[in-house]
């Protein structure tokens, strides 16, 4: 779990405890809880398509369970691919990337390079990917 997610959850719990105080029954009033949760779900269904709502569960799981590739592994992978490209050709990297053992972001950049995409366009595509 990302540190920002943990801090956000702690901030949420703290703000709820400070706002509610010792009167927890105000917060756990069943009709109010049904209105808030049901209304939030209904508005989500109104604002998004059904496919987007179904995809929300996957997005939430990605937020909670972040899988970060260790930088040392990315560096080792890049050094190995550079050696492969020098010893053979850049096209040989396509097989390397298709094995799927590399960072997805790095793999996308390598695929673009193997396909002969201009370096400026590769940079634009990868920067766009980072921003989203």
Q: Which residues of 19-28 are buried (b: 16+ CB within 10 A; e: fewer)?
A: eeeeeeeeee
| pTM of the model as a whole | 0.48
Sorted by sequence, the CB contacts under 8 Å of residue 108 that are 6+ apart come out as 125, 126, 129
Do 105 and 129 form a contact (C-beta atoms < 8 A)?
A: yes
For 60-117, what is each residue's pLDDT tens digit?
888 778 777 788 888 888 888 888 888 888 888 888 777 766 778 888 888 888 888 8
d(CA 78, CA 95): 14
C-alpha 43, offset from chain centre: 24
């Amino acid at each position: 779990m990302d540190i920002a997610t943990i801090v956000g959850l702690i901030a949420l719990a703290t703000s709820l405890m400070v706002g509610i105080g010792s009167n927890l029954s105000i917060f756990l009033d069943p009709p109010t809880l049904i209105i808030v949760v049901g209304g939030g779900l209904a508005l989500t269904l109104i604002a998004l398509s059904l496919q987007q709502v179904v995809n929300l569960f996957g997005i939430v799981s990605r937020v909670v369970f972040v899988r970060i590739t260790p930088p040392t592994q990315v560096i080792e992978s890049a050094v190995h691919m550079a050696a492969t490209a020098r010893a053979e050709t850049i096209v040989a990297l396509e097989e390397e990337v298709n094995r799927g053992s590399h960072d997805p972001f790095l793999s996308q950049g390598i695929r673009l390079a193997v396909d002969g995409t201009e370096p400026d366009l590769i940079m634009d595509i990868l920067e766009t990917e980072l921003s989203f």
